[in-house]
Amino acid sequence: MTRWLHAPRRVALLSVHTSPLEQPGTGDAGGMNVYIAQTAARMAERGIAVEVFTRATSSDLPPVAEMVPGVLVRHVHAGPFEVLDRNELPAQLCAFTSAVLRTEANNEPGFYDLVHSHYWLSGQVGWLARDRWGVPLVHTAHTLARVKNAALAADDTPEPRTREIGEQQVVDQADSLVANTEMEADDLIHRYDADPAKVTTVPPGVDLEQFTPGSQQAARRALGIAPDAKVFAFVGRIQPLKAPDVLLHAAAQLLAAGKADRSRLVVLVVGGPSGTGLEQPRALQDLAARLEIADVVRFLPPLPGPELAQVYRAADAVAVPSHNESFGLVALEAQACGTPVVATDVGGLRVAVDDGVSGLLVPGHSAVEWANALARLSFPGLRGKMSDGAVEHARAFSWERTTDDLIGAYVRAAVAFQGEVVAS
């Protein structure tokens, strides 16, 4: 039975399908990886030991790796040593759960004070661990099937019914549900009938030490881009949900409408195929060729933080045209570097971007509307004003604040859990 009423001593953090040690921007590695890595590291700085359980995808991975002092990553053997499609992972949850429970059983009772699961697959494991260990379960969905299916790209595949059912089970069983925004909290309550008393909103953050304003000209020199170029960038996983094709269509529209000089236009696409995008890994390159803009588009692989910051600084604007986002960490990172963002007016992007102050929100995915928004940010006066607004807006978000709020959610979950145990 949980007895602590302050910060927990040790947290079991579950991330079945992706590891915080992976490079975000390809496969299943994205904003959730950043979230887990950043908050786990900061919990360790506050004296909370964190153990992250994730599925081993290679026989070369050590059973346990130290991410930073105080944070261990446990690579769990569950299924073949290869990256599996998310639809294949439910079949491996029994093996994964067994390994998690064995790890706890090898220690003294009460080794973990709390379970925090990320994404619904992890929630299924966390639900069983919660009951076995007698500790609270905190769950962060990151994305929700019913929300994604309501805003699908035309060529994307709907989330399966099994996921919706699995999510509902986790919502019903968790002691605390952490949402990224008030909109996500509302989705949990109205689409999944979550108890409002169990839902806490904790906005993600941004690394304000790594993503900082800097010289646009120096960043362009580092990337081999002309100082007078007009540069627009997309950063993220290449899949229909993220809609990188919107930026390419907008670039073609800018050229067709005479709003951009071909000799000066540069479109940067940073990331790798992911999800249903793996079915056509060269779809964007083929689209650039069909639109006759291959000469202005540069494709870059996923980049580590310092190099990614250079991309943000080099751009006149960063495009985040997703069909849905629970938050949108790329938008915050770009703004922290002083670069305005053009984003779709959906989901968490309405929080991540301050429309008209730090960037522009576009309703829908019309190439004309996106081209017009990008063209507006080509005017130095407006771009300069929004650059200042972007930095100011990003400063309101930090991983330190996120971590403090998470720990608060942990304590409230423990109090509620203890009350339930006493009542029963």
* Residue 32 annotated in ligand binding: yes
- Residue 119 assigned as binding residue: yes
Interacting residues of 316 by C-beta distance below 8 A, sequence separation 6+:
230, 231, 232, 339, 377, 378, 383
Does 237 appear as a known binding residue? yes
How long, in residues, is the chain?
Answer: 424
Q: Is 23 annotated as a binding residue?
A: yes
Q: Is 345 annotated as a binding residue?
A: no
Task: Give all strands (DSSP E) within 225-357, no chain letters.
Answer: 230-235, 265-270, 297-300, 317-320, 341-344
Q: Is 29 annotated as a binding residue?
A: yes
Q: How far apart are the first and last CA of the chain?
A: 12
372 marked ligand binding residue: no
The reply to whether 242 sits in an annotated binding site is yes
Please give the DSSP secondary-structure letter assigned to residue 273. B
**Torsion over CA of 28, 34, 36 and 37, rounded to 10 degrees?**
120
Establish whether 143 is an annotated binding residue. Answer: yes
The sheet carrying 114-118 orders its strands as 64-68, 71-76, 49-55, 10-14, 114-118, 137-140, 176-179, 199-201
Q: Tokens 């000066």 sit at which residue?
A: 264
Tell whether 312 is in a known binding site: yes
Annotated binding-site residue? 35? no
Handedness of CA 104, 109, 112, 116 (dihedral sign): positive
In the chain, DSSP finds a helix count (H) and a strand count (E) of 15, 14
Question: Which of 144, 16, 161, 141 has the alpha carbon at shortest distance from 75?
Answer: 16
The response to whether 130 counts as a known ligand-binding position is: no
Q: Does 410 appear as a known binding residue?
A: no
Tell me the residue type at 216.
Q
* Cα distance between residue 339 and residue 251, in whole Å: 18
Known binding residue 17? Answer is yes
Annotated binding residue at 376?
no
Name the DSSP letter for residue 23: P
Is 24 a known ligand-binding residue?
A: yes
Backbone angles phi, psi at 230, to 5 degrees: -100, 115
Gap between the Cα atoms of 422 and 347, Å rounded: 38
Bridge-based pairing of strands 297-300 and 341-344 is: unpaired
Contacts of 299 (CB under 8 A, 6+ apart): 269, 284, 285
Hey, is 137 helix, strand or coil? strand
Is 230 annotated to bind a ligand? Reply is no
R_g of the chain computed on alpha carbons: 22
Q: Specify binding-site residues.
A: 17, 23-24, 28-33, 86, 119, 143, 163, 237, 242, 312-313, 315, 325, 333, 339
Q: Specify binding-site residues for UDP-N-acetyl-alpha-D-glucosamine.
A: 23-24, 31, 237, 242, 325, 333
Q: Specify binding-site residues for Mg(2+).
A: 312-313, 315, 339
